[in-house]
Each structure stands twice: as C-alpha cells, then as structure tokens.
Chain A
C-alpha cells in the first residue's frame, strides 16, 4: 500500500493555496469599466491601437473604417474590456480543461490497454486508476465553469452572447444564428453532462471491477472490464470529437476544422501518457513499484515519442491544409495565432515535436528516468501551451500574457491534481493481484 508522503501533501496544498490567491488576483485586477481600459490603453504605446481594431473578432472589425472615429474608438475600448475581463476566466478555463483532459487521456489509454489485452501494462493499471481519479473532481469544476459561462458570467463563448441569434438586435450574427440549432446553451450543457457522465461512469465501474477482481475466484470481473473498455472506446471517440467542437472549437464560432477532434485527442493523450510515466517514475523512486523495470518505462517512453509525432502530424495536417488553400474564412484562425501568438504558437512546436524527437529517439535514453522526467516536463508544458493557443486567441486576442492569473490557475489545478491522484493511490494496493495478465506484466522485458 502506498502512503501519501506528508511532504508531497503539504506541497500540493501550498500549490492550491498560492494558485487560489493567483486566481483571485486575476479576477480582482481585471478591469470593470471602459474608463479603466482607457487608462490601460493610454499606458500602452500608440499604433498598437489601430491594429487591434482590425484583427480578432471579425464581427466588429468591419466597422472600423467608415464609422466616425469616436464610435470606432468606443467600440475598440469595449472590445478590449471584454478581452481583459475574459483573461482570468480563460486562464482558469485552460488550466481546468488541461488537467481534466490529462485524466481523460489516461482513461483512454487504460481502456486501450484493457481492450488490447496488453501484457506489459497491467502492473501500471493502479497508477492509471489513480490518475483517472482526478476525472470526477476535475469534471465537476469544469462543468461549473461551463454553467457559469452559460449564465453570462463571462464572454468566453461569443455565441452565448445576448442577441446574436436575434435578427433585430445590433449584435445579430447570421453565421452564429445559423448554427444555433447546435450551439445553444441548453443543448451545450446537456451534451457536456452526457460526455462527462459517460467518462465518469466508465472510470467508476472499471475501477470497481478492478478492485473486485483482486478478491475474485475467477476472471469474471476482468472479462466485464474488457467488454466495458471496448464499449467505452466506441463512445469515447464520439464524445471526444464532439467535446472538442463544444468546448474548444466553439470558442471560435466562425471557424471549423474537420480533424480538430483528433488533434485535441492527440494533445491530451500524449499528456496523459507522460503523466503516467512521470508518476510511475516518482513512485518507483520512492520504492513502491519494485516490479516496474526499465522495460516498462521504455514502453511508456516509446508511446510518448510516438504520440508526440502523431500530434505533430495532425497539427501540421491541419495547419498546412489551411495555409495552402488560404481560404479567408478558415485562415483567420492561423493568421491571428501567428501574428499575435508567434512565440507560443511556434514554441510549442519545438517543445512538443523537436525536443521529444531528438531526445526520445535513443533507445538507451528511453530507459533513463531523468531523461523521461525532463522530456515529460517539456511535453506537459508544451501541451499546456497548445491548449493555451487553442483557447486564448478566441477569448482574449492580443491581450494575452502568461502572468499571475495563468500561473495561479496552473498551480491551483496542479496542486489539486497531485492531491487527488496521490490520495486515490493510497486507497488500493499498487499492484493488483487478480489481473490474469499480471504475471506476464511483472516479468515484462524488452
């Protein structure tokens, strides 16, 4: 049995407290009125102004030229006010969805290992179950954020704005109105609840069967889990795709991409595998997983390497197809990102592709714990930036900055993640007895 070291517990609590303070500062310091925005803008350099009015939200930008200068200025200030008010919300949202999706990625990996009857991984199942325990608290917080967005507490989802579907309103947006059959708050929340319930139910029952298998005479619970995993994987692929449209793509409601769901999947799948590898290495270094050998680590590292490249393949496929054809309605997505998010946009490519490619290609390196921890840290940070790039340009535009609200949100959710995951790891033996493939897994050697 694993005991949660008091040091790590204190560390996670400190992270949560500091993170909560950071989140609080973010909300407190966000401007409330247009006057405050005027002040912030006048502190900025000029020339910056005109550019802002043009990019970002296509709905507003059209006006800039013909309307009277004062009107344009007023509209611009209001636009920036919304962006700055979105900032603490988006910072919270990015960290919240990122950590929740890590546990979803691990859940998918777990289901794949079960359904594929993998012989090497059963020894890591309890670690994976520990990580997926974050899914329940993570999804509750996330769902609350979605409900608050639906209650107009923030302007992250522009399609939720008032009057966008009303032809008589000055905020009327024909494109969004045409999508309102899918993009409306009620359906959005019902769908979100369905996805989260499906994932959490699989997590709950697979964990329960896994524990029950330990004291079982036969393999009935294992077989149940096998069928459950296969069913879950089918449902997961559907819900995952729709989840990515709802929670991420709908932030840019004028834009759409067909392979977006897989792209999001690859991003959190590799993060999940990395989390498994890093927590396994941590537990092993503390002497809790004696039978985990370098071959298990090697296999995880191969997955990290392979899925990193898979992510890059999807990133590039999405980028290159849109860049090549350069259709105005699609390409704005990348134009805003390259213009306003140049460093994060290309920096994540280095962190998520070039670095893992060069460091994890070597077989000997894939067996060294410190290499895995180093590569894993870079990959996890890189995929946080990936989610940041997917979400922030739509909500805060060029007003982005990785400051107190962002780091605070990361710290808070990291602390919560560590706390929940390591608490769950103490609840059951780290090596299950009943799994029929366990003996093979213990002697796995590559």
Chain B
C-alpha cells in the first residue's frame, strides 16, 4: 500500500471551488483542503457534515444554568438564609430576580468556554502543537487540495492539471 498523495495547488478560490466540485464528480476522495482564509461554501462543495458545536454549546449552557442555580439556591436559601437588607430568602422563587444576573452569566460562561474548549479538542489545537502545514504558501495566498493516490498516479496528475492547478505534486506521506 503506497502512501502517496497528490498536492494540487491553486491560487484562486473560485478555481479551487470548481476543482473541488470536479474532483467530487470524478469520485476522487479529497483527503484535505488547505486555504489561507475561509472559502464560503467550501464545506458544502466538499460534502462535509454540518457542525454540531451549536448543539453542544446549548447543552453546556443548560449545564451552566443548572450549576449556578443549584449553587446560589444552596448558598442563599438552604445553607444560611440570612436576612440581608430585607431580601426574602425563604424560597428560591421569592428572591429569584436577584439571582438572575448570576444565572445568566453562568449560562453564557459555560456555553462559551466549554464550546471553545470543545472546538480546540475536536480540531486538535493546543499551544505546542506541531503545525500540519503541507506548504507554507497555503497560509498566505495559495490553496492546496490533497487527494490520495491508489495506483492511478498519472491519471490523477493529468486530471488535476486540467482543473486549473498551478502546481501538481506527488508526495510520499509518512
């Protein structure tokens, strides 16, 4: 089994989009696409599944709301129901308006931070991570599509040359 891949490099996002559509139509499996900036509609053209991070964030928000509600209910109502400036600490609902700012901020805090951490984990990003950049120009002004080679090297090279690639390289991957 060879681990050869094709690196087709483009210098225009419109050309890239067309190439991605052609590659999908020709049933070549796209391993990865590297771009210097978000290309609108690229995920749809590649057929990537929609993200579920918003759903995760909603659940984190509910978690935060539950935690902060339980926390303040325990502290202010159950543990030491003091009379502080005449506020009614007899039951949670009686003093609830005073707790809403905390419950709101707790919800946002959990929803935001846990979502960001989820994003980092799912995209495998951390401070000392080795950059996975196949070509330095892809962070500046070039677009790169990576397609696996399965004993069809010549066919693939000519295919990608025709899609408007400025450069087509065959790379041995480790």
Seen from chain A, the residues whose Cβ lies within 8 Å of a Cβ on chain B are 316, 319-320, 323-324, 326, 361, 363
Contacts and interface: CB of A to CB of B under 8 A. Distances in A.
A227 to B, nearest CB: 33
B174 to A, nearest CB: 41
12 contacts: A316-B97, A316-B100, A319-B97, A320-B97, A320-B98, A320-B100, A323-B97, A324-B97, A324-B98, A326-B86, A361-B58, A363-B54
Contacts of A323: 97
Q: Can you list the 6 inter-chain pairs with the closest CB atoms, starting with the nearest?
A: A320-B97, A323-B97, A324-B98, A316-B100, A319-B97, A324-B97
A323 B54 CA distance: 35
Interface size class of B (residues with CB under 8 A): under 10
A263 B58 CA distance: 27
B22 to A, nearest CB: 23
A319 B97 CA distance: 9
A361 B54 CA distance: 10
Interface string B93-114: 0000110100000000000000
Nearest to B98: A324
A410 B98 CA distance: 36
Interface in B130-161: none
A350 to B, nearest CB: 15
Given A323-B97, A363-B54, 5 more contacts: A316-B97, A316-B100, A320-B97, A326-B86, A361-B58
Contacts of B58: 361
B23 to A, nearest CB: 24
A316 B98 CA distance: 11
B95 to A, nearest CB: 10
A392 B62 CA distance: 36
Interface of B: 54, 58, 86, 97-98, 100
B53 to A, nearest CB: 12
Contacts of B97: 316, 319-320, 323-324
B112 to A, nearest CB: 15
A326 B95 CA distance: 13
A320 B104 CA distance: 14
Contacts of A324: 97-98
Contacts of B54: 363
A324 B98 CA distance: 7
B90 to A, nearest CB: 15
Residue with the highest number of chain A CB atoms closer than 10 Å, among B54, B97, B98, B100: B97
A324 B97 CA distance: 8
Contacts of A361: 58
Nearest to B41: A445
Contacts of B100: 316, 320
Nearest to B50: A363
A326 B88 CA distance: 12
A320 B96 CA distance: 10
B67 to A, nearest CB: 19
B76 to A, nearest CB: 14
A342 B86 CA distance: 23
A56 to B, nearest CB: 24
Nearest to B61: A361
Contacts of A316: 97, 100
A428 B16 CA distance: 44
A195 B122 CA distance: 56
A361 B86 CA distance: 38
Contacts of A326: 86
A154 to B, nearest CB: 35
A353 to B, nearest CB: 12
A387 to B, nearest CB: 23
A324 B85 CA distance: 10
A385 to B, nearest CB: 20
A364 to B, nearest CB: 10
A324 B96 CA distance: 11
B103 to A, nearest CB: 12
A324 B95 CA distance: 9
B84 to A, nearest CB: 12
A361 B55 CA distance: 10
Nearest to B58: A361
A316 B103 CA distance: 14
A354 B58 CA distance: 15
B13 to A, nearest CB: 17
A9 B100 CA distance: 47
B88 to A, nearest CB: 10
A316 B86 CA distance: 20
Contacts of A319: 97
Contacts of A320: 97-98, 100
B54 to A, nearest CB: 8
A241 to B, nearest CB: 25
A324 B86 CA distance: 10
Contacts of B98: 320, 324
